[in-house]
Chains A and B, each alone.
Chain A
């Protein structure tokens, strides 16, 4: 079956939409493989606008790995803006890939990477535009397998009705394994049809096929049990963990778009996983254990990436980048190598630690100096014990003082509001901390132009974390505490004007909470919101709290559950959680104990440097901590 490009029909329409360049493809390092020479064809989607989706590492890695394989083809698609959606509906154009502009419905797998739950409505738009039935139950052998991945896929239950399958964890190996299962099934003449291939995938224990599991409920609305409904389907589905990142040095040829995107840089993951143990952090819980990429592989990837892209900024990514065992050597080595080339290095996600200022100096010496951001997360010492963010206020003051002494004039501090056990006083202590920061900065430099920006996000309890049992703080309380904080900062004559405050109102966090910890009944809410025009829920100009609450009231009418039940309610230890059959490797008893420790304000050390505390991941997943130091150094390259 030959599948034609829709570009000839699309092109005349492009002058009428915003930023048409996002729909034309042709990015540097993108590729278009021969359709007819491929047996297994993937359409990869990041369910947000092109400018957000294109830089996504996960999609770029899978795109490259799949396209490297003989007989396999991968193309990309992104959420189209509402103006384009209208143009496509008016002209009967299907959801298309930007690489060869082929209809998404013609591919074998439609793989969607969910970093956040707020992309769920965009999935429905894409399915609908693609002509793929929204509900998995209505699909036939003619439709792609709709597959979810990404962190949100650790609880895919709210979108279970719309998915054929979901995978948990690192995508490299499982994407290839799924490809092989599909290839064999096609070679054999597609025995058993659509269910035939889904069953083969489910039987591996590494692919979750929601329709092979039945969910039963108790009269009060809680889940009674989740059980496989046919032989061969395992009770639990395990996450995937890539060991030895040096064997997977992707992306090798990062995509360089023509359109402007949110991250204009070449990013290298310097390690995966984090065992700092911050209790609010889903990423830190579900990506264990820590696996470092070696200094030599990092150096080679940066060298190749810069040459392939022409980017002027290199981002060294991870969940806590300064924790790499050889980060100082990496920083020094890269700084030396790119001396005088206007190449800057950035280190997102750093901890509050004076050592990081030395690093930051190293990183900015060849290029532009961006601001310094630290994340104490909690305003009070007590709060930080609850969330296990082991940073003292004195540490922070020492760190920012060093920063100001080294020439930085502005630091950004990131906090959360609405954390479990939080009181008004905990939030007000943020103001005290910010004032001390300004005071210390002025004393250290003798200058008046010291600034500090306090940025606050609403806390949302996430699955597979100790806070998965916690009731979410209602948005009225969050908003009230933020107002108190604002008033406290505003009323300070001495320091108030040097402190900026950035925050969002609390309502969107409630919907994020509903989607994070929801079960299959929430699918009806998502569909109702989408039918009512809900799109791009991660964008404040598109998000409508009223639309969500109205849709939830209607869709959950007659059920013993509502939005408050999903979000505000404390769960007890024995309650079956919607994601309990999905295995991130964390021992459930350990998680519960960690939740109790949180309430008791008891801290837990990082297992990289202290004995194992039995979170359960390594033995369950047959993985281990992989860290340096390797003792190796980066050699200077002769830069052309």
Chain B
């Protein structure tokens, strides 16, 4: 058995925020990880590999959105064998990925950053946008207020551990009708603009079992008979630390950016995310549709 040299060690860790837009929302987590590995190679980014019989590139993912769910805020961490300018990695990785998997922010961790700063710990909640075609705004508004007034809303779902019943109300920090309806770029261009459509915005804490936007919709159906006629279009707008007082999500990469800047590590000093901040109205559905 040929024994290769020990793999080159990780000298820099980068945290990457990327999106899953347009038709790319149909990618599964595995699809994305293959696409990222190939893009890293095409872009010539010096990724580190694990040791062993089947070496794997050191790329790890945190809390990936489900197949079919679009996202403006997915995160991965990548270990490099040589330091690279994060801004350059952002541009090169973005160019190497298919349109829709867009890299919007890259931050370098200062050397010596340990496990205590695990990104997963910072991703305390997600902000979601849920578009319900064929649902009147007034019906959605009524359902939302009934839901919020309830002390608990129990739903049932098949989890990995079998069928489970759990409360979804407690995980909801915010739930409201989005105000973006008027300016919403209509993704199904041929539809009449006065077709009923309600857009919900919600902030949901990451709990166990995970409460997904789908579970909230199940809850809305249970408490108020809200039944969308077609599958909802769900987009994750942001994830990060949740300020329980204001209900606002912070950028989970900001702490790394601050440490990097204060420690004078030039490679870590980059601009903020090249993307609208959470809560801004964005016509994300129309992006990158090529047909």
Contacts and interface: CB of A to CB of B under 8 A. Distances in A.
B41 A258 contact: no
A342 B290 CA distance: 34
A-B pairs with lowest CB-CB distance, top 8: A310-B38, A407-B1, A5-B291, A310-B41, A310-B42, A640-B44, A20-B26, A15-B231
Residue in B26, B30, B39, B53 with the greatest tally of chain A CB atoms within 10 Å: B26
A32 B27 CA distance: 20
Contacts of B100: 26
B2 A407 contact: yes
B27 A21 contact: yes
Contact of A8 (B42, B133, B189, B231): B189
A365 B41 CA distance: 19
Interface in B38-80: 38-42, 44, 49, 53-55, 57, 67-68
Interface in A23-50: 23-28, 32
Interface in A346-378: 361, 364-365, 368-369
Interface in B1-45: 1-2, 23-24, 26-28, 30-31, 34-35, 37-42, 44
Interface string A309-330: 1111000000000000000000
A69 interface: no
Interface string A100-131: 11000000000000000000000000000000
B68 A15 contact: yes
Contacts of A20: 26, 67-68
Contacts of A260: 30-31, 34
B24 A26 contact: yes
Contact of A26 (B1, B42, B98): B98
Contacts of A12: 133, 188, 230-231
Contacts of A16: 231
A258 B35 contact: yes
Contacts of A368: 53-55
A342 B23 contact: no
Chain B CB within 10 Å, residue with most, of A15, A16, A260, A312: A15
A529 B190 CA distance: 40
Interface of A: 5, 7-8, 11-12, 14-16, 19-21, 23-28, 32, 100-101, 256, 258-260, 264, 306-312, 342, 361, 364-365, 368-369, 407, 640
Instruction: Describe B's contact surface by its main secondary structure.
Output: loop
B96 interface: yes
B99 interface: yes
A26 B99 contact: yes
A91 to B, nearest CB: 11
A25 B67 CA distance: 16
16 contacts: A7-B291, A8-B189, A12-B133, A12-B188, A23-B26, A24-B24, A25-B23, A27-B98, A32-B291, A256-B38, A258-B24, A309-B42, A310-B37, A310-B42, A364-B2, A640-B44
A132 B171 CA distance: 53
B239 to A, nearest CB: 22
Contacts of B57: 342
Most chain-B CB neighbours within 10 Å: which of A101, A259, A306?
A259
Nearest to A23: B26
A23 B26 CA distance: 9
A258 B27 contact: yes
A504 B42 CA distance: 40
A5 B290 CA distance: 10
A28 B68 contact: no
Contacts of A312: 37, 41
B209 to A, nearest CB: 21
A439 to B, nearest CB: 21
Q: Most chain-A Cβ atoms within 10 A of its Cβ — which of B23, B27, B44?
A: B23
A30 to B, nearest CB: 9
A618 B67 CA distance: 53
B35 A307 contact: no
Given A14-B26, A21-B27, A256-B38, 18 more contacts: A15-B68, A20-B67, A21-B28, A25-B23, A25-B290, A26-B99, A27-B98, A100-B290, A258-B27, A258-B31, A258-B98, A260-B31, A309-B38, A310-B39, A310-B40, A312-B37, A365-B2, A407-B2
B275 interface: no
B231 A101 contact: no
Contacts of B290: 25-26, 32, 100
B190 A8 contact: yes
B34 A21 contact: no
A8 B99 contact: no
Given A8-B189, A8-B190, A342 B31 contact: no
Interface in B77-103: 96, 98-100
B120 interface: no
Q: Which residue, A16, A21, A310, has most C-beta atoms of chain B within 10 A? A: A310
Contacts of A32: 290-291
Contacts of B37: 310, 312
Given A16-B231, A32-B291, A100-B291, A11 B34 contact: no
Contacts of B34: 258, 260, 264
Contacts of B35: 258
Given A14-B68, A256-B38, A342-B55, A24 B26 contact: yes
A259 B37 CA distance: 14
Contacts of A27: 98
Given A12-B231, A260-B31, A310-B37, A28 B98 contact: yes
Contacts of B23: 7, 11, 24-26
A553 B139 CA distance: 59
Contacts of B38: 28, 256, 309-311
A259 B230 CA distance: 25
Contacts of A364: 2
